[in-house]
Amino acid sequence: MPANQTPPPGGPLPVESAPVVTADGGPNRKTSRGETILIAMSVVASLSIARPVLLPVFLACMIGMTFKPFISWLATHRIHRAFSAAVLLLFVQAAVGVGFIELGGPVMQWVNTAPQHMTELRQRVQNIFPQIGNFSPAAAAVSNLGATEEEKRIEQRKTPTVELKENHGASAILNWTGTFLVALGETLVLSYLLLASGDLFLQKLVHAMPTMSDKKRAVEISREIQQNISHYLFSISLINLGLGVIVSAGLWLMGTPNPAMWGVLVTGLNFVPYFGPILGVTLLAAVGLLSFDTLWQAIIPPAWYLLLHLLEANLITPVLLGRRFTLNPVVIFVSLIFWTWLWGVPGALLSVPILVSVKVVCDWVPRLNYLSELLADEPTPLEQDKAP
């Protein structure tokens, strides 16, 4: 109210509504749908362009949150975080190195003899299912039905021929190896810093909050998010590792060649939903056909893995993780396609952990609760009320 203006006897003057302004002085307005689409496209383009920088950061964050419960447990027993993080990462590197040395020979042998395996596999399938061998000649006969001899000769001349040319395969492999080693080094260093720092970022966040209530709320939200994500990643890693060990032991009892190699492969593939188990069953079916003479013996390895995977996905994982981390299958599938398209195989491995992290954050941010309901594989309260 101006200084020279006095309020009327009945009360103060009515206050005119002023437009809401933002921090930069401009009017506050809602983002339009077109602007939202442009922002989303910009974010996707930035993720794709910045992949060499962001991918090691994402992998290091996942590794750090996976092993953080173990480092925290050691810290309660007065073992310094920096020392325990260094020993843990050295142990993991040593285990991975020994695994590569032990399994590198069988893997390279399978890769080098892949054409021979494909020929042998085709012959085995044709011997077990003779009807399949007649399919290709029948298809060729149908395609050439009604064609004259001149048309057949023209079609044969159109058949493409394969020419072997010298390429730069060796230099490409060297460049890829160098890029991989650099990214691996960045991931390991950043993982160590995250594990050794402990709650440093949380302390920085609390210090930046203006009031005591904001500080308490920030501590609760941050710790809950970190504990939930760490619990999920640590639990799912142990589950997949146990699944690989049991599958490998079963393959060894069956007499399947290189059971340890297939157990490691199953452990890695089980981190990728849907496509990982399908690929694992397919590979073990091919291994069974190549390793055994009869059909019933050949189907035992893929059936063994499929049975264990169904038990793990429908019984063990829901019991250990609970409903809190149960996600919508449609959202999981879309996330898998998106991150695989964006970052390849590492994106496929990170798709579900990223989705779980987003859900945990949405659970604690009131404005994002609708996204949490969308990601969850459970009915909303309104849907529960409508249910009979």
DSSP, residue by residue, 302-356: HHHHHHHHHHIIIIIHHHHH-GGG-B-HHHHHHHHHHHHHHHSHHHHHHHHHHHH
Residue 288: inside a domain:
yes
Residue 151: inside a domain:
no
Q: How far, in Å, CA of 305 to CA of 366, rounded?
A: 42
CB 228 within 8 A of CB 321: no
Residue 274: inside a domain:
yes
State the pTM of this model.
0.69
Identify the pLDDT of residue 23. Answer: 46
Task: Determine the structural domain holding residue 273 and report its residue range.
Answer: 217-321
Does residue 326 share a domain with residue 303? no
> pLDDT at residue 266 above 50?
yes
In the chain, the number of structural domains is 3
Burial (CB count within 10 angstroms: exposed 0-12, middle 13-18, buried 19+), residue 108: exposed
- Please state, in angstroms and as integers, the Cα–Cα distance from residue 9 to each residue in 3, 6, 235, following that order: 17, 9, 71
> pLDDT at residue 56 above 70?
yes
Mean pLDDT of 264-289: 89
* Confidence label for 307 from pLDDT (cuts 50, 70 and 90): very high
Residue 352: inside a domain:
yes
Average pLDDT, the chain: 76
Q: How far, in Å, CA of 140 to CA of 144, rounded?
A: 6
Tell me which range, 13-27, 145-159, 343-357, is most confidently predicted by mean pLDDT: 343-357
> pLDDT at residue 149 above 70?
no
Identify the pLDDT of residue 379. Answer: 54
Q: How many CA atoms lie within 13 A of 342 on its CB side?
A: 24
Q: Which of 198, 229, 263 is the last residue of a domain?
A: 198
> pLDDT at residue 338 above 80?
yes
> pLDDT at residue 7 above 70?
no
Q: Is the model more confident about 39 or about 150? A: 39
> pLDDT at residue 2 above 70?
no
* Confidence label for 129 from pLDDT (cuts 50, 70 and 90): low
Q: Which of 165, 198, 231 is the last residue of a domain?
A: 198
Least confident of 16-30, 114-128, 304-318, 350-364: 16-30
Identify the pLDDT of residue 123. Answer: 73
Does residue 347 share a domain with residue 303? no
Identify the pLDDT of residue 308. Answer: 93
Does residue 301 share a domain with residue 237? yes
Residue 286: inside a domain:
yes
Identify the pLDDT of residue 6. Answer: 52
- Choose among 375, 326, 349: nearest CA to 273: 349
Identify the pLDDT of residue 253. Answer: 93
Least confident of 220-224, 247-251, 344-348: 220-224
Residue 134: inside a domain:
no
Integer Rg of the chain from CA: 29
In degrees to the nearest 10, what's the CA dihedral of 350, 355, 356, 357? 90
| First-residue to last-residue Cα distance in the chain | 59
Burial (CB count within 10 angstroms: exposed 0-12, middle 13-18, buried 19+), residue 371: middle
Least confident of 7-11, 222-226, 298-302: 7-11
The encoded tokens of residue 93 equal 């590197």
Q: How far, in Å, CA of 321 to CA of 63, rounded?
A: 19
Q: Is the model more confident about 22 or about 237? A: 237
Does residue 326 share a domain with residue 312? no
Does residue 370 share a domain with residue 255? no
Tell me: the pLDDT tens digits for 65-102? 888 888 888 888 888 888 998 998 899 888 878 877 77
Does residue 329 share a domain with residue 312? no
Residue 17: inside a domain:
no
> pLDDT at residue 214 above 60?
yes
